[in-house]
């Protein structure tokens, strides 16, 4: 099938309503982007044959498009210019009987008070944050270089947003942070081909550490829907529970911690700098379809970037805390003979297989921590310690 011949015209009507015809569909929507290979993305979509509204954005490759007609939104008719495919016009399906004015939710429709308030709160909370990111919503020119860059990394921070993000859910954005760059992959636009084109290799590479906060949902989604098996994962939610156990001499907390709580507790980030995570949850509660919008508001793109930017340093701080007792034991071991008297070398202690006194201190350290924890925390009927939010 031939490709669209007038991509230059389409690039001049980005943001306008178009009617798009393929061999099987006739749709109306807002033109979001036109790539150099004449692939287009449309949003606010309505099926003109059934009148059904289709949420989110969709991508169409040029060789699958039969006709694109800009629409005069005020009258529902088309403008004089039509972008067509030469010999395929006979295959077009007639959509003229559908009421074009029954279009999807208008961009001018004001959001509810709750949604507007949440968006304003998010914008205010991220205005002062400095974070750079690259949105990957086309395969050319950024996708290939992004994958090659990620394959050369040793550590990545990963998060995702979607609807009911588990095996029956829908992925909309996948965020990946490395040392100096953050990539926001627009899964709604690009689709599962991103896995086959290299992202699956990244996620399954056992030599690349993936840092995720609560990996259960994303791991379930990726494995059941696309056969992607996450490997070599450092989970910051698991690490937080483990550290609590270490700090309390073996007790467990009554609940897990959110990413916001982990950032405050372990990185000492001020509450005002992570408020965007609370506003994000409020926005999702008020409008669960917000991540379908294309183009996505810059403040929301910033939220996606900020959600992963701290993960690599959070892991390092957590690892230092995990090693604290170990290093304390090593220091004691190092000084056991060095600061002792010469008498120790005349004893049998050097060759004895018994556990050295310096290592026996671990049980004493744990007992001290347990006693302190019982003073600092309440204990519930399951034997877990109840800790307050950070």
Q: How confident is the model at residue 347 (pLDDT cuts 50, 70, 90)?
A: low
User: Among residues of the chain, what percentage have pLDDT more than 70?
Assistant: 81
pLDDT at 55: 67
pLDDT at 7: 66
pTM attached to this predicted model: 0.74
Mean pLDDT of 89-99: 37
Extract the tokens encoding 242.
């483990």
pLDDT at 4: 47
Q: How confident is the model at residue 351 (pLDDT cuts 50, 70, 90)?
A: low
By C-alpha distance, which of 303, 180, 171, 308 is closest to 236? 308
DSSP state of 295: S
DSSP state of 253: B
| pLDDT > 90? residue 324 | yes
The Cα angle at residue 357 between residues 353 and 361, in degrees rounded to 5: 130
Q: What is the pLDDT of residues 144-153, one digit of tens each?
A: 999 999 999 9
pLDDT at 136: 95
| pLDDT > 60? residue 89 | no
Q: How confident is the model at residue 246 (pLDDT cuts 50, 70, 90)?
A: very high
Determine phi and psi for 294, rounding to 5 degrees: -140, 130
pLDDT at 254: 96
DSSP state of 198: I
Mean pLDDT of 173-183: 94
Distance CA 307, CA 345 (A): 56
Lowest mean pLDDT among 77-81, 240-244, 272-276: 77-81
Q: Which residues contact 240 (CB under 8 A, 6 or more apart)?
A: 256, 257, 261, 262, 265, 266, 318
Q: What is the pLDDT of residues 21-56, one digit of tens each?
A: 888 889 998 887 777 667 777 878 888 989 888 766
User: Which domains are delineated in the chain?
Assistant: 7-73+81-86 (2.30.30.100), 113-319 (3.30.420.10), 320-340+353-386 (no CATH)
pLDDT at 179: 86
pLDDT at 3: 40
| pLDDT > 50? residue 372 | yes
Mean pLDDT of the chain: 83
Mean pLDDT of 269-294: 89
Q: How confident is the model at residue 352 (pLDDT cuts 50, 70, 90)?
A: low
| pLDDT > 60? residue 84 | no
- Tally of residues, the chain: 390
Outline where DSSP puts E strands in the chain.
17-22, 26-34, 40-47, 53-54, 58-60, 65-70, 83-84, 134-136, 155-163, 170-177, 182-186, 209-212, 233-235, 378-379, 385-386
Distance CA 381, CA 28 (A): 58
Q: How confident is the model at residue 137 (pLDDT cuts 50, 70, 90)?
A: very high
CA 338 to chain centre: 51
| pLDDT > 70? residue 160 | yes
Residue identified by tokens 């000084």 is 335
Q: How confident is the model at residue 159 (pLDDT cuts 50, 70, 90)?
A: very high
Q: How confident is the model at residue 70 (pLDDT cuts 50, 70, 90)?
A: confident
| pLDDT > 50? residue 252 | yes
Q: How confident is the model at residue 90 (pLDDT cuts 50, 70, 90)?
A: very low
pLDDT at 86: 37
Distance CA 15, CA 13 (A): 6
User: Among residues of the chain, what percentage have pLDDT more than 90?
Assistant: 51
Of residues 229 and 31, the one with the higher pLDDT is: 229
Distance CA 335, CA 327 (A): 12
Half-sphere exposure of 236 (CA within 13 A, CB side): 30
What separation in angstroms does the CA of 124 have from each of 116, 120, 206, 280, 380? 12, 6, 39, 12, 39
pLDDT at 214: 97
Distance CA 207, CA 231 (A): 9
pLDDT at 123: 85
Mean pLDDT of 264-289: 90
Determine the angle formed by the axes of helices 311-322 and 259-267, rounding to 10 degrees: 60
């Amino acid at each position: 099938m031939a490709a669209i011949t007038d991509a230059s015209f389409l690039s001049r009507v980005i943001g306008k309503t178009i009617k798009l015809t393929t061999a099987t569909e006739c749709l109306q929507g807002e033109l979001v982007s036109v790539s150099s290979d004449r692939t287009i993305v449309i949003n606010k979509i309505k099926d003109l044959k059934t009148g059904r509204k289709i949420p989110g954005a969709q991508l169409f490759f040029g060789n699958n498009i039969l006709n694109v007609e800009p629409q005069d939104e005020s009258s529902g008719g088309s403008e004089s210019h039509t972008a067509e495919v030469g010999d395929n016009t006979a295959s077009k399906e007639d959509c003229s009987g559908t009421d074009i004015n029954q279009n999807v939710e208008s961009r001018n429709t004001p959001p509810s008070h709750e949604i507007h308030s949440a968006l304003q709160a998010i914008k205010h909370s991220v205005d002062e944050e400095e974070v750079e990111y690259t949105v990957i919503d086309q395969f050319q020119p950024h996708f290939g270089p992004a994958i090659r860059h990620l394959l050369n990394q040793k550590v990545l921070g990963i998060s995702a947003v979607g609807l009911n993000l588990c095996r029956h859910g829908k992925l909309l954005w996948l965020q990946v942070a490395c040392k100096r760059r953050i990539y926001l992959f627009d899964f709604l636009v690009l689709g599962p081909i991103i896995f086959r084109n290299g992202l699956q290799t990244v996620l399954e590479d056992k030599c690349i550490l993936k840092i995720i906060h609560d990996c259960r949902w994303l791991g379930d989604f990726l494995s059941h829907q696309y056969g992607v098996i996450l490997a070599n994962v450092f989970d910051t939610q698991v690490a937080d529970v483990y550290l609590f156990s270490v700090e309390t001499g073996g007790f467990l907390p009554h609940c897990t911690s959110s990413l916001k709580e982990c950032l405050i507790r372990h990185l000492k980030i001020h509450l005002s700098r992570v408020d965007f995570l609370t506003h994000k949850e409020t926005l999702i509660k008020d409008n669960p379809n917000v991540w379908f919008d294309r183009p996505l508001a810059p403040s929301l793109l910033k939220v996606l970037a900020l959600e992963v930017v701290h993960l690599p340093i959070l892991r390092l701080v957590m690892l230092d805390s995990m090693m604290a007792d170990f290093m304390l034991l090593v220091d004691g071991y190092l000084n056991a003979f060095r600061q002792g008297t010469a008498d120790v070398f005349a004893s049998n202690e050097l060759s004895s297989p018994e556990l050295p006194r310096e290592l026996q201190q671990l049980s004493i350290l744990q007992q001290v921590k347990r006693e302190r924890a019982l003073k600092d925390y309440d204990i519930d009927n399951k034997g877990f310690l109840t800790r307050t939010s950070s």
